[in-house]
């Protein structure tokens, strides 16, 4: 959708809301004057609403994770966002969309400079080391990103300079003195209401420091009305809904201009307006979402960005950085004349003893030992299934093991394994009929189809916990169906007709298992891959590698399956985290 000659007050919300109602129509709104500057607003601006024309934006899916600070190696909290992002983008790939999954690292600012200094290293050298540990972890977790941006890259600096100049040209940058309380951990000035006791940051539990500086400011207040309308007219702009209310509250309280340069921080890009100052780390980092998708030398024009999937369908963020994404970022984009994202989704925190797990507090859970002991699918599954996406969640190792064993080993794994075992013994490892030929009223077929719709809706809404739950429901039901029909009895002492019927029981159960496994594949890619292979499919067979494969009818008569091997082994190894976790887990038994 393209909006011609929009007043900034109309740009965001009008296009978005028009787009939601009439998905393909061009929104040709009349050129108007900027109320505040008197200058005409003639920039051609595009907005994000989806179209379904095929050539447009509906067939693409662009998702970002935050760009992670490289003050230290990643922990499970940072991995959580990335796992969720990977699952969502895998789902949209199954849907055969043109997916762009951006992640990366935020390498400038005081916090990073301090970490480097503490190690006696140059900031760049420090960043290079930590970036490796992020990339390694993403590999261990089987994260398939399309672009990894480091904010110290030259191509990123070019985008930052370009946007700063465009924002300046709109009259949105001015110089002023600022005095306030600064949290280095958050890289943010805090208002009185945002601090505890004696100016302590509630997130980092450290005192904020008083700062007085001559800075450049971004005129966010000029976008007050547009941002308020954007939020009011687009219920899905900030998700979940509870977060949207929080953001609306902040905006209605009145937006204040924010400082976008630092006089006392040398580790950052010099401000093009005055090289004695560096660009504020948040203004710098948010623009990484644009530079990530642009090759070096290609400028951040609307056209160049749109060709590469812009704007984001979803910016996935933790709730602590929602203000930057839901308030500052739209203001920056409006000023720069760039299309706005569709949704900012804020998830909750992984906690330990009720406190946000974080590098600054030192209460982190290391992902590597978990992945090494249990495999990436177990880790991905546990956090996505067990933590309601959008809310906080705690980790206890015993509960983790119980959940993974109950669902992946005992439910899905066992379903596949026992049915294939019976198929080998009684049907020569061959499906006796096409799954499509089973009665349209077959109870498992009907129940599975209903669950597929629910799971698709859950993925579309970023409700990953519901998607995982729905896929597992199919496997639970299939197990119960097998138990109820007891095909082993018919195979042993039934008539020929009963034996044939027992073969169809296995066929139906394995078809349901196939569909459950496709639905779960964004979350447990390796396990789903093993199930596909066990059912006799190659990796790229559409029955297992596209969402169309969730339709009933993938298993074919005569299809041979290999010798059954467990697709998910029960966890029986030693615990890998502190034993204290065991006690807590005893209070939380699991029934799958
Ligand atoms: N650098 C900024 C983001 C800039 S985006 C343009 C930043 N980095 S961060 O490393 O501190 O955090 C990155 C993400 O990790 C945030 O979404 C944050 O919420 C998430 N998490 C960090 N600790 C977390 C938990 N304990 N639990 C869940 N997510 C957490 O902010």
**Per the structure block, which two tokens stand in for 51?**
């179209």
Predicted confidence (pLDDT) per residue in 552-562, tens digit? 999 999 999 99
53 pLDDT tier (thresholds 50, 70, 90): very low
Rounded average pLDDT over 180-185: 85
512 pLDDT tier (thresholds 50, 70, 90): very high
**Per the structure block, which two tokens stand in for 307?**
């060709």
**pLDDT given for residue 358 in this prediction:** 81
* Nearest atom within ligand 1 for CA of residue 78: 15
Q: Evaluate if pTM is beyond 0.85.
A: yes
Residues in contact with 277: Cβ distance below 8 Å, sequence separation at least 6, in sequence order: 215, 216, 261, 262, 263, 270, 271
**pLDDT given for residue 274 in this prediction:** 95
For 380-515, strand residue ranges (E) read 393-394
Predicted confidence (pLDDT) per residue in 369-393, tens digit? 999 999 999 999 999 999 999 999 9
For residue 240, whether the previous peptide bond is cis, meaning omega lies within 30 degrees of 0, is yes
**pLDDT given for residue 579 in this prediction:** 56
Predicted confidence (pLDDT) per residue in 402-450, tens digit? 999 999 999 999 999 999 999 999 999 999 999 999 999 999 999 999 9
Strand order in the sheet with 258-259: 188-190, 173-183, 209-218, 258-259
444 lines ligand 1 (CB under 6 A): no
Q: Classify 98 as helix, strand or coil.
A: strand
Architecture of the CATH domain 6-347: 3-Layer(aba) Sandwich (3.40)
| 376-550 and 6-347 share a CATH fold | no
Given a cut of 60, is residue 583 above it in pLDDT? no
78 lines ligand 1 (CB under 6 A): yes
390 lines ligand 1 (CB under 6 A): no
> b vs e for 359-385, b when ≥16 Cβ sit within 10 Å of the residue's Cβ?
bbeeebbbbbebbebbbbbbbbbbbbb
Phi, psi of 215 (to 5 degrees): -130, 165
Query: What is the per-residue DSSP string for 274-333?
Result: EEEEEE-HHHHHHTHHHHTTSPTT----HHHHHHTTPSPSEEEEEGGGHHIIIIIHHHHH
Given a cut of 60, is residue 211 above it in pLDDT? yes
Q: Which CATH superfamily is domain 376-550 in?
A: Isoleucyl-tRNA Synthetase; Domain 1 (1.10.730.10)
For residue 347, the CA-to-ligand 1 centroid distance in Å is 10
Q: How far is it, in rounded angstroms, from Cα 67 to Cα 31?
A: 36
For residue 65, the CA-to-ligand 1 centroid distance in Å is 9
Q: Are strands 98-106 and 60-69 parallel, antiparallel or unpaired?
A: parallel
Q: How far is it, in rounded angstroms, from Cα 232 to Cα 245?
A: 10
**pLDDT given for residue 154 in this prediction:** 98
Q: What does the domain layout of the chain look like in residue ranges?
A: 6-347, 376-550
* Nearest atom within ligand 1 for CA of residue 71: 10
Predicted confidence (pLDDT) per residue in 525-575, tens digit? 999 999 999 999 998 999 999 999 999 999 999 999 999 999 999 999 999
């Amino acid at each position: 959708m393209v909006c011609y000659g929009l007043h900034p007050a109309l740009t965001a919300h009008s296009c978005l809301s028009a787009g939601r109602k009439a998905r393909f129509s061009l929104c040709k709104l009349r050129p108007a004057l900027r109320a505040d500057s008197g200058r005409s607003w003639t920039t051609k601006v595009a907005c994000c609403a989806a179209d379904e024309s095929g050539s447009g934006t509906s067939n693409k899916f662009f998702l970002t994770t935050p760009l992670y600070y490289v003050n230290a190696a990643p922990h499970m909290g940072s991995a959580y966002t990335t796992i969720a992002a990977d699952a969502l983008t895998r789902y949209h790939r199954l849907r055969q969309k043109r997916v762009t999954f951006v992640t990366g690292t935020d390498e400038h600012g005081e916090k990073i400079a301090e970490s480097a200094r503490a190690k006696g290293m140059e900031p760049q050298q420090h960043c290079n080391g930590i970036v490796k540990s992020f990339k390694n972890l993403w590999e261990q977790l089987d994260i398939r990103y399309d672009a990894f941006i480091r904010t110290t890259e030259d191509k990123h600096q070019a985008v930052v300079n370009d946007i700063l100049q465009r924002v300046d040209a709109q009259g949105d940058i001015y110089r002023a003195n600022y005095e306030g309380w600064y949290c280095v951990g958050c890289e943010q000035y805090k208002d009185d209401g945002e601090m505890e006791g004696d100016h302590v940051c509630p997130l980092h539990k450290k005192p904020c420091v008083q700062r007085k500086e001559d800075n450049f400011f971004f005129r966010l207040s000029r976008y007050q009305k547009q941002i308020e309308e954007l939020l009011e007219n687009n219920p899905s702009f900030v998700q979940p809904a509870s977060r949207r209310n929080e953001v609306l509250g902040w905006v209605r309280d009145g937006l204040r201009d924010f400082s976008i340069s630092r006089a006392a921080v040398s580790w950052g890009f010099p401000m093009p307006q005055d090289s004695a100052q560096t660009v504020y780390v948040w203004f710098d980092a948010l623009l990484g979402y644009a530079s990530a998708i642009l090759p070096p030398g290609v400028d951040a024009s609307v056209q160049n960005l749109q060709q590469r999937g812009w704007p984001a369908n979803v910016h996935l963020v933790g709730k602590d950085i929602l203000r930057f994404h839901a308030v500052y970022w739209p203001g920056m984009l409006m000023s720069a004349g760039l299309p706005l994202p569709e949704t900012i989704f804020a998830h909750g925190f992984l906690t330990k003893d009720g406190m946000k797990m974080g590098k600054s507090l030192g209460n982190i859970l290391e992902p590597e030992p978990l992945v090494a002991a249990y495999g990436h699918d177990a880790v991905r599954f546990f956090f996505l299934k067990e933590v309601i996406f959008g809310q906080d969640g705690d980790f206890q190792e015993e509960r983790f093991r119980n959940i993974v064993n109950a669902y992946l080993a005992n439910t899905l794994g066992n379903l596949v394994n026992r049915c294939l075992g019976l198929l080998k013994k009684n049907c020569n490892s061959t499906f006796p009929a096409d799954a499509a030929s089973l009665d349209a009223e077959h109870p498992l077929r009907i129940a599975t189809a209903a669950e597929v719709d629910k799971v698709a809706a859950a993925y579309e809404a970023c409700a990953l916990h519901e998607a995982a739950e729905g896929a597992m429901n199919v496997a639970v039901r299939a197990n119960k169906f097998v138990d109820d029909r007891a095909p082993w009895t018919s195979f042993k002492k039934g008539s020929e007709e009963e034996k044939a019927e027992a073969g169809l029981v296995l066929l139906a159960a394995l078809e349901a298992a196939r569909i459950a496994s496709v639905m779960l594949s964004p979350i447990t890619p390796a396990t789903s891959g093993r199930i596909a292979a066990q059912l006799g499919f190659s990796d790229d067979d559409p029955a297992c590698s596209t969402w169309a494969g969730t339709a009933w009818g993938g298993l074919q008569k005569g299809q041979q399956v290999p010798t059954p091997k467990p697709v998910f082994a029960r966890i029986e190894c030693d615990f890998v985290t502190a034993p204290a976790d065991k006690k807590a887990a005893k209070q939380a038994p699991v029934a799958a």
